[in-house]
Amino acid sequence: MSTHQTAHNFARASVVVSLSLLWSCSGGSGGGGGTVNPASGPFELVSVGVSDGATWELNRSIRLEFSRAVDPAVLGSSSLSLLDASGLPAGGAFVLDGPSSIVFEPSCPVDLDLDGFGFAQATDYVLTIADVDDPAPVLAADGAELQEGAVVSFRSADQSTPGGPLWDPVPGAPRPIVRQVGSNEADASRLLIGAQEFAAFFELDPNTQDPVPVEDLPLNLPSSYQSTVCVALVFDQPIAPSAENLVRLGLEVQLPNGTWQQIDVERVPFSNLCSEGVRIDLKPRFVLPAESLLRVVVDSDFEDIVGEATTARRDDFALMRTGAYPSGWTFDLFEDFDQDPGVTGAQVDPATGELIQPADWSDGRLRATAGFVSSGGPGGTFDLHVLPGQVLDIDTDGGLVLGGPDGAQSTSQAVDGGVLEVRDLVVHLGGLLKAHGPHPLVVRASRDITILGRVDVSGRNALPHTSGVPLEDLAGLGGPGAGRGGVPEPTIDGSNARGGAGAPPMGMDGQGGFGGESAYGPQSISWMFGGGGGGGCLAAGAAGSPLPMPSASAGHPLVYGAEDGLLGPQAGLIGPSPFSDGDFQNDFCGRRFDPVLGTVVEGELLTALGGCGGGAGGDSVISTIFPSPISPTNEYRGGAGGGGGGVLVLIARNDIRFGSNARMFANGGNGAKGQAFSANLNLGGSGGGGSGGWIQLEAGGQIDLRLLGFEAIEARGGLGALGGGDDPQIGRGGDGSPGVVQVHVADPSTDLLLPFGAKIGSRCDPNPWTLAPNQSNRSRALSDWISLPVGPTEVGGLVDLVFAGIDPVTGRPIDTNGDGKLDDLAALLGPTLVGDGPELPFVSADDYTLVVDGSPIEGTEDGRLLDQPELLVGGVFVLSNLGGTQTRRHTVAAATYDATTKQLRLTATSTAGSVEDSVAALGNWVEFTLHPRHMLVTTGPKRDWLDPRNELSVRFQVTDSNAMLGPDEAAASVWTSDPSSLDIQNARFVRFEVRFRVAEEVVALDSADLLPSLDFLRIFAVR
């Protein structure tokens, strides 16, 4: 929320310090920040916080002091390095902490996992500070080179270190640093106002130790950035950085009855919480009550870095009292769509079932999102036909595809990132469409898709061990966008302790199925079976219900596991699923309308994912020790894993149709058995199957499955190979999980065509998700709740909401002529002829400012715009010739009013050129009129213009505050486009919703310049 309003004065009861005193509150070993010495003499390293050979705590920073100011460019350069023995940098960053001090701050894990700190446990590090003899020495701010650097070696602490692995510089629980009245200490808890221009310290009376209230605190008003409040709470030692710990910090307000009420605040770590100089910012989320006492609270059980906690609540160290609301003031609730979006999630219209997708809230404008758009390929007539007997295997990484009108192969198209744009796609009976490569296959048709033959994006089966074939070539390759299977991964010393894991989908971290544990022992050959490889995992099962898959089995119980030395080599686990929130009802990508609850369920994933590869089985080593010396006769490799099923996304603007012989596959590949010892004996564990892939069908019209056979659409997991001995369950590979099938139509009851009495699940395996389309011509954006200038304890009815320019019934911008040119609001001033000056109005010497007489509206309701001329910013003044046949429009960029001279100065933006040029172009007789704006509707470069074929509407809602002084959703009013009709007796918050509908013929033109937008929206709250 932007601001065009200046806050009232903030009377600071304490000493005001400049930003130079508030440099950075973080620190490390060696005390506070350095002082700046004159730029004379050699540039020297004064001290290094860590000594050679020291043992250093995992969270402890390292301070470097120099003889004068350092060039900030050395940060992140090779002039400073902190590396472990293998040459990897320690986690963290070098930062300035005062002009002549640099501090290395090790990274801080939120969960305090000892393996998550910037310094790894029990690790040797070397700190290098380069000097004049090095290629890139540390430089002073004046360009002088460091004369003598340093190389310091030290070792990080671990659990065995006396005193523990973490640095706790202050015994006992953490306490806030609050200075005494008269103190000059800058690194203490304080108030920050606006963009930190002001700082008022919390202080204690030196005689009584009672807190001295900070008076006339601003009210954190949404219309004034200079009124925003931030409590910077500084502690004496590192604290536990978890959210569970930070929630014990807060603000409370005293109610008229004397009780204290908690205020909803955002808790923002300002510094590294694991190190020294800890600061937490408490930012109230809403308007503060006027003329009320507030206090800062540190609750009991608030912990430091090693778990030492406060035993009692503290609320006796920081008080502040808010000022009064300015009387007769208009609060400008101005949204320029340049900050974080409001609530832009999709909805389903409960009346029509139609998807309303998120509008585009970014980069200083709110724009409608268009419905489905496809170019139709080159020339808009690229029809792709896969003919009978033809196998078309598309490379999703830039492969060329031939097509043209009616399937003529007259034009080529490169597949860009896996996306193929067509007019029609037809896979004829006997034709086969396949794909391979790192990207999913996405086909977007501007008309229809017809499948009469087969489409296959399955993962490949793993290959059996064959003499001369490299191990890496045995893995089953993943389908397009999917992960490959795992393979045995011997080291230079022989077999690995486990088979290799399957790969995750392309572009994702993690892994597929786990490899099985290798086996060793001198026992009978017939026992030498390692653990089977785990299956890859994509979905947990069919839509909405978990489905158990056969897991891999352990190796022979009479041989040893190479990893733990215990009898019975372990089986590889099934791989982790990308669906990780534990809710099986959202295991999809997209949105599903729940007709029972009347709500929209958002899918857990943001994009379609390929399947995961299965893990390789463990090796078998005939030896009494592991690892064993390499010998071809005593080591047998485990079987490779199958590849994950690929991703197939078919999107048609109109319909998708299936024939009676159509088939569609995105199955996982099968795992392979271990290396053959004889014709009937395969040693080693068997490989796991790859998971099923992802099939997504979306039609703007209908999906016709009436002729399709039973379970003709498959995304099944691949099978793990059976064990290679007499008992096939020993060393068996695990099966891959099912994949995901999704169908997207606007109304399943009319747009999903099935045989009479059939369910969609009878045509797909696994059972598919039926979801809303991802494309729609309707979009919307909902703002966050905006605080009104009414305190939580004040009597209601103190604020009137003003918004103009829309029809109070429909919420649509007013266009009387229906020609797309939106009506201006009634003129505040004018029409008046523009002269040469000094008589008003005239154009000032800068050529961009129109100076007019503001006295006609003094004393009227519109006179508030003279008291607060910044409310005119965004408005428009119109210059026209005397007949009104020609006009020039200029948006107001700045406005000031002088009540003595009556001059209202309106400075225009440069978008429409200079005001002087407009006057000259219009001739000798030029009039002006001034019009405010409550919103600016644009279509491409046209301002105040909305294509009559499109729709835009605005509506509002108010609510009261809840127990936390935040908005009470349950008490929200009905929506209305007439703010004057809202019940404002208990209104303390307001929000707005903007809806767009783009006409089909506009969508088809595929031009962002034809989409309607809002450049800003403002509500006046008049108190």
Distance from C-alpha of 88 to C-alpha of 94, rounded to nearest angstrom: 15
Phi/psi at 55 (nearest 5 deg)? Answer: -100, 125
At 40, the pLDDT band (50, 70, 90 cuts) reads low
Tell whether 545 is covered by a domain: no
Residue 843: CA count within 13 A, CB half-sphere: 18
Answer yes or no: are the C-beta atoms of 288 and 220 closer than 8 Å: yes
At 595, the pLDDT band (50, 70, 90 cuts) reads low
Distance from C-alpha of 768 to C-alpha of 587, rounded to nearest angstrom: 11
Section 749-775 average pLDDT: 88
Helix (H, G, I), strand (E, B) or coil at 234: strand
Give the DSSP per-residue string, 51-66.
-TT-EE-TT--EEEEE
| Predicted TM-score of the model (pTM) | 0.56
Distance from C-alpha of 71 to C-alpha of 53, rounded to nearest angstrom: 29
* Domain co-membership, 226 together with 312: yes
Distance from C-alpha of 817 to C-alpha of 432, rounded to nearest angstrom: 56
Answer yes or no: are the C-beta atoms of 619 and 490 closer than 8 Å: yes
At 580, the pLDDT band (50, 70, 90 cuts) reads confident
Distance from C-alpha of 229 to C-alpha of 250, rounded to nearest angstrom: 14
> Per-residue b/e over 352-373, b at no fewer than 16 CB within 10 Å?
eebbbbbbbbeeebbbbbbbbb
pLDDT score of 682 more than 70: yes
- Boundary of a domain, candidates 285, 306, 326: 326
Answer yes or no: are the C-beta atoms of 181 and 195 closer than 8 Å: no
Tokens representing residue 638 in the block: 């485990």
Distance from C-alpha of 360 to C-alpha of 338, rounded to nearest angstrom: 11
Distance from C-alpha of 905 to C-alpha of 866, rounded to nearest angstrom: 11
User: Could you tell me the CATH number of the domain that includes residue 197?
Assistant: 2.60.40.1220
* Domain co-membership, 88 together with 203: no
User: What pLDDT, in 10s, does the model give residues 397-442?
Assistant: 999 999 999 999 999 999 988 999 999 999 999 999 999 999 999 9
* Domain co-membership, 216 together with 248: yes
Domain span at residue 72 reads 45-156
* Domain co-membership, 312 together with 229: yes
- Boundary of a domain, candidates 141, 156, 171: 156
User: What pLDDT, in 10s, does the model give residues 75-109?
Assistant: 878 899 999 998 989 988 899 988 999 999 998 88
Tell whether 729 is covered by a domain: no
Tell whether 447 is covered by a domain: yes
Mode of pairing for the β-strands spanning 198-201 and 190-193: antiparallel
Q: Which residues contact 234 (CB under 8 A, 6 or more apart)?
A: 25, 176, 177, 187, 188, 189, 190, 277, 278, 279
* Domain co-membership, 277 together with 396: no
* Domain co-membership, 131 together with 233: no
Biggest CA pair distance of the chain: 112
User: What is the chain's length?
Assistant: 1023
* Domain co-membership, 138 together with 198: no
The reported pLDDT for the residue numbered 373 is 60
Residue whose C-alpha is closest to residue 742's, from 664, 653, 662: 664
Beta bridge partners of 752: 703
Distance from C-alpha of 478 to C-alpha of 482, rounded to nearest angstrom: 5
Tokens representing residue 365 in the block: 């404008």
Q: How far is CA 63 from CA 127, 157, 177, 276, in A?
A: 11, 18, 22, 11
Beta bridge partners of 553: none
Neighbouring C-beta atoms of residue 675, cutoff 10 Å: 22
Answer yes or no: are the C-beta atoms of 681 and 525 closer than 8 Å: yes
Answer yes or no: are the C-beta atoms of 482 and 612 closer than 8 Å: yes
The reported pLDDT for the residue numbered 9 is 28
Beta bridge partners of 343: 782
- Boundary of a domain, candidates 932, 961, 980: 932
Answer yes or no: are the C-beta atoms of 559 and 521 closer than 8 Å: yes
Tokens representing residue 264 in the block: 């909803």
Tell whether 427 is covered by a domain: yes
User: Could you tell me the CATH number of the domain that includes residue 51?
Assistant: 2.60.40.3710
Residue whose C-alpha is closest to residue 153's, from 56, 57, 238: 56
pLDDT score of 920 more than 80: yes
Q: How far is CA 374 from CA 379, 595, 1005, in A?
A: 12, 31, 10
Answer yes or no: are the C-beta atoms of 787 and 988 closer than 8 Å: yes
The reported pLDDT for the residue numbered 132 is 94
Answer yes or no: are the C-beta atoms of 892 and 873 closer than 8 Å: yes
Element (H, E) at 446: none
Beta bridge partners of 894: 907
Tell whether 981 is covered by a domain: no
Residue whose C-alpha is closest to residue 548's, from 574, 587, 516: 574
Tell whether 661 is covered by a domain: no
* Domain co-membership, 426 together with 305: no
Tell whether 839 is covered by a domain: yes
The reported pLDDT for the residue numbered 57 is 94
The reported pLDDT for the residue numbered 500 is 93
User: What pLDDT, in 10s, does the model give residues 817-861?
Assistant: 999 999 999 999 999 999 988 899 999 999 999 999 999 999 898
* Domain co-membership, 408 together with 277: no
Distance from C-alpha of 570 to C-alpha of 467, rounded to nearest angstrom: 28
* Domain co-membership, 321 together with 391: no
Tell whether 367 is covered by a domain: no
For the chain, the domain total comes to 4
Distance from C-alpha of 366 to C-alpha of 349, rounded to nearest angstrom: 21
* Domain co-membership, 838 together with 887: yes
Residue whose C-alpha is closest to residue 166's, from 124, 125, 126, 106: 106
* Domain co-membership, 151 together with 215: no
Tokens representing residue 113 in the block: 């996992």
Q: In terms of C-beta density within 10 A (0-12 exposed, 13-18 middle, 19 or more buried), how is residue 18 classed?
A: exposed
The chain-wide mean pLDDT, for the chain, equals 86
Say what percent of the chain tops pLDDT 90: 58
Residue whose C-alpha is closest to residue 141's, from 62, 74, 65: 74
Alpha helices of 796-911 — where are they, by DSSP H? 864-867
